[in-house]
Structure 1
Amino acid sequence: MRKEEKIYWSLKRLKYLVSINEETLPDTTDPDYELKYLDIGNVSSNGRVEPPTTYRFGDAPSRARRVVKDGDVIISTVRTYLQAIAPIEAPPDNLIVSTGFAVIRPNPDYIIPSFCKYSLRTTSFLSAVEMRSVGVSYPAINASDLGNIFVKVPTIEVQRRIASFLDSETARIDALIAAKERLLALLAEKRQALITRAVTRGLDPNVNMKDSGVAWLGEVPEGWLILQLKFLTNIPLQYGANEAALDDDPNNPRFVRITDIDEFGNLRPETFKSLTPELAEPYLLESGDILFARSGATVGKTFIYKISWGRACFAGYLIRFRCDRTRLLPEFLIEFAQSNFYWAQINEGMIQATIPNFNSEKYGAMLIALPPLEEQVEIVSFINKETQRLDAIRISTLCSINLLKERRIALITAAVTGQIGKAN
């Protein structure tokens, strides 16, 4: 195409370019039919798809019904803020996705799959999905409203050129993101190794060691004790309030849930919920209280409460541990909870049911290598100092990844809406 040649674009509703939810697995399917299942949790906001789970149809979740084929695009119609959207490329014949997805099947007479997968990733399309979603805590969009969103399309030939350009450019960006994600993994590994050594071996390389009596721990410094956590608290381990998170009155105590805690151990301001003082009173947190996650994908995650966050109580899927500070510092316990020794015990004792679980009895029985208090202070200070540099690199790398992701979306949006001339 010569540079002076005009490129014509059409604005059409999505439903005139694709079919939506064309095939469904019937309830009469043979119970022994083996399928590979993708749920919304398998798809990330950047379109990355985790491996599917294999089921017999008779044992599969009831929402395992949507049939997909090569060239389809799946879009989450529930919790639309997650932006779980992914192209389906060379799938196994028995791949089935959740009814929480809309399956978009391009009509190649109007829009080709390689262009469609980018069109559904533009900021304008994503914004339209969110705008049409209904619900606050669990926003959702139906297939009809999804099909009424407008999409901008050029001729098939131009679609091919744009898709080819974006394949090349996004591959380059994705390679940069992957390299930075590998760096994050290495930083996390180095950080955990540093913490593990400090909380199980101490800081003095010349100290006399003794057998811990625990196979996967090995030797610990003389003078350290191996104790169960339940002997290091001055109140019984406690489950949180089994209440719905409906109130958002800022004058009431904050209702801390595991989803409120970010990756840096801080409370997210945007997820604030509260309980009335009467409901909150038995579960009010004190400075230094540790919260353990007891079920779901976050089992083992920990949080240390600071009084600077204001009055707060905690939810039922969390367990409160209050240290006996004459023997165990909360700051040492929170560092221990990032060590390999801690996670080995979590993985060993986790109840692998439909939802993973690690209850208060198991947390109470967990072993910790306990140094004297003054040595705990030194170890916490050392870890804080040594991890500052690693954390600074991590934050910088995360910012860089976010910028690359923003660049990717902006590039896609510009290319598939005719804002750049790369189709020439």
Structure 2
Amino acid sequence: MFGTVRPNLRSHGYVPEQPVGELVASTGFSVIRPRDGISDGKYLFFSILGHEVYAQSVNAAVGSNYPAVNDRDVRQFRIFAPPLEEQKKIAQILDSLDTQIRRTEALIAKLERIKQGLLTDLLTRGIDQNGQLRPAPDQAPHLYKDSPLGRIPKSWHTRSLGETLRLQRGFDITVASQTAGDYPVVSSSGITSYHNQYMVKGPGVVTGRKGKLGLTHYIESNFWPHDTSLWVKDFHGNNKKFAVILLDSLRLGRFDAATSVPTLNRNFVHPLLVSVPPVDEQNRIVEMKARLDARTAKERRKCERLRTLRTGLMDDLLTGRVRVTPLLGEAQQRKV
């Protein structure tokens, strides 16, 4: 099915030969059916996703707000049409890559869910000296004590955020006044530029004050915190990477003090009560999170490589620049 409205979005779809139940196609789609003995449905699907058909559809689209093509335009699109067996082999190769990409994306989503659940446990139960999560309070009540925030591990303390991490407003600087250099200028959304001067020695932690709230950034080098940000001026001896975890958990965006442009007032959040583990336990929490982050990052890199490979193969196989005829010959020999 070819999405005819805004074809640049490539909102196309593939319907298998035996779909579950009856289907009705919207008028925003052009239905493409393979011809028996001539074309393969999956190959046609990959072809309409390819760059060649994309370019033709964009050129044929009419309209400014809702550019669209019609059925006649779709029928006139030109594609590379190798023999049917070669089409099937190309479709098989690309379909296999799509399956790997979907599985990797599902694993990344699962790891993110695990991380969110783990962070909740780490900030309420913590890690014992053996590197294991403590049992929950109902399973081991002797390991916990009462606090204004509920039951917390006995070695933890309840303090205000200001007593734990002292936030300070950043320093104003315009793009015009900057000179290219090595020191990152960190705004509410992260690093936006590099300047030849810094205001804070790294490593440090920055969170959004104005514009984009709730994002926390760990900066390894010396840096210039922008006026749209808040930076941690005093960590009070706490692990700096644990500070990122703690600030993220507070969802500071909910304390927006403005009406039009989101703004965070540090005086509103400094009185917040937080439960804080000892520094040695903070270190263990940071290490556990880092291991999970590394696993997720590895899968993201793998997924990006697969997407890059898929794009390259589509460009080669769907244009005939690279043929799979040798693979077909090998398959025939194996059958014999």
TM-score range, shorter chain: 0.5 to 0.7
- Cα distance in 1 between the residues matched to 2:300 and 2:155: 41
How far residue 321 of structure 1 moved from its aligned partner, in angstroms, is 1.9
- Cα distance in 2 between the residues matched to 1:361 and 1:161: 69
- Structure 1 pair 288–73 and aligned structure 2 pair: CA distance change class (3 A): same
- Structure 1 pair 421–361 and aligned structure 2 pair: CA distance change class (3 A): same
1:289 alignment partner AA: G
Contact kept, 8 Å, 1:196 with 1:336, in 2: the verdict is: no
Give the % identical residues: 16
Residue 246 (structure 2) aligns with: 336
- Cα distance in 1 between the residues matched to 2:177 and 2:52: 33
Contact kept, 8 Å, 1:71 with 1:113, in 2: the verdict is: no
> Normalising by structure 1, what TM-score?
0.50
- Structure 1 pair 210–203 and aligned structure 2 pair: CA distance change class (3 A): same
Q: For 1:345-360, what aligned pairs fall within 5 Å after superposition?
A: 345-346=251-252, 348-349=254-255, 358-360=264-266
Query: Which of 213, 225, 242 is matched with 1:299 structurally?
Result: 213
- Cα distance in 2 between the residues matched to 1:166 and 1:364: 60
The 3-state SS of whatever aligns with 1:237 is: strand
Q: For 1:70-149, what aligned pairs fall within 5 Å after superposition?
A: 70-75=3-8, 86-87=10-11, 115-119=47-51
2:184 alignment partner AA: R
Deviations 1:59-118 (A, max 9, x none): xxxxxxxxxx9334554xxxxxxxxx533669978x9xxxxxxxxx9xxxxxx9974531
How far residue 422 of structure 1 moved from its aligned partner, in angstroms, is 5.8
Extract unaligned runs of 5+ from structure 2. Answer: 14-23, 31-43, 56-66, 68-76, 129-133, 135-139, 329-336
- Cα distance in 2 between the residues matched to 1:182 and 1:352: 38
Q: Are 1:274 and 2:194 counterparts?
A: yes
Q: For 1:193-232, what aligned pairs fall within 5 Å after superposition?
A: 193-204=117-128, 205=134, 208-214=143-149, 218-222=150-154, 224-232=156-164
Residue 256 (structure 1) aligns with: 186
CA RMSD of aligned residues (A): 4.4
- Structure 1 pair 247–349 and aligned structure 2 pair: CA distance change class (3 A): closer
Query: Which of 370, 377, 386 is matched with 2:276 structurally?
Result: 370
- Cα distance in 2 between the residues matched to 1:121 and 1:359: 52
Query: Which of 170, 173, 181 is matched with 1:239 structurally?
Result: 170
2:4 alignment partner AA: G
Contact kept, 8 Å, 2:173 with 2:226, in 1: the verdict is: yes
The 3-state SS of whatever aligns with 1:291 is: strand
Residue 382 (structure 1) aligns with: 284
Query: Which of 212, 228, 247 is matched with 1:317 structurally?
Result: 228
1:243 alignment partner AA: T
- Structure 1 pair 417–228 and aligned structure 2 pair: CA distance change class (3 A): same
Contact kept, 8 Å, 2:53 with 2:79, in 1: the verdict is: no
- Cα distance in 1 between the residues matched to 2:117 and 2:281: 14
- Structure 1 pair 227–396 and aligned structure 2 pair: CA distance change class (3 A): same
Residue 79 (structure 1) aligns with: none
Extract unaligned runs of 5+ from structure 1. Answer: 1-68, 76-84, 96-104, 106-111, 126-142, 144-151, 262-270
Contact kept, 8 Å, 1:226 with 1:369, in 2: the verdict is: yes
- Structure 1 pair 384–243 and aligned structure 2 pair: CA distance change class (3 A): same
- Cα distance in 2 between the residues matched to 1:238 and 1:91: 55
Contact kept, 8 Å, 2:47 with 2:79, in 1: the verdict is: no
- Structure 1 pair 288–163 and aligned structure 2 pair: CA distance change class (3 A): same
1:369 alignment partner AA: S
Deviations 1:365-393 (A, max 9, x none): 4432123xxx22x1133124434543343
- Cα distance in 2 between the residues matched to 1:405 and 1:353: 41
- Structure 1 pair 257–356 and aligned structure 2 pair: CA distance change class (3 A): closer
Deviations 1:152-188 (A, max 9, x none): 9556x66999988766654432332222122222223
Contact kept, 8 Å, 1:294 with 1:318, in 2: the verdict is: yes
- Structure 1 pair 331–404 and aligned structure 2 pair: CA distance change class (3 A): closer
Matched positions, count: 270
- Cα distance in 2 between the residues matched to 1:159 and 1:357: 62
The 3-state SS of whatever aligns with 1:274 is: strand
> Normalising by structure 2, what TM-score?
0.61
Residue 201 (structure 2) aligns with: 286
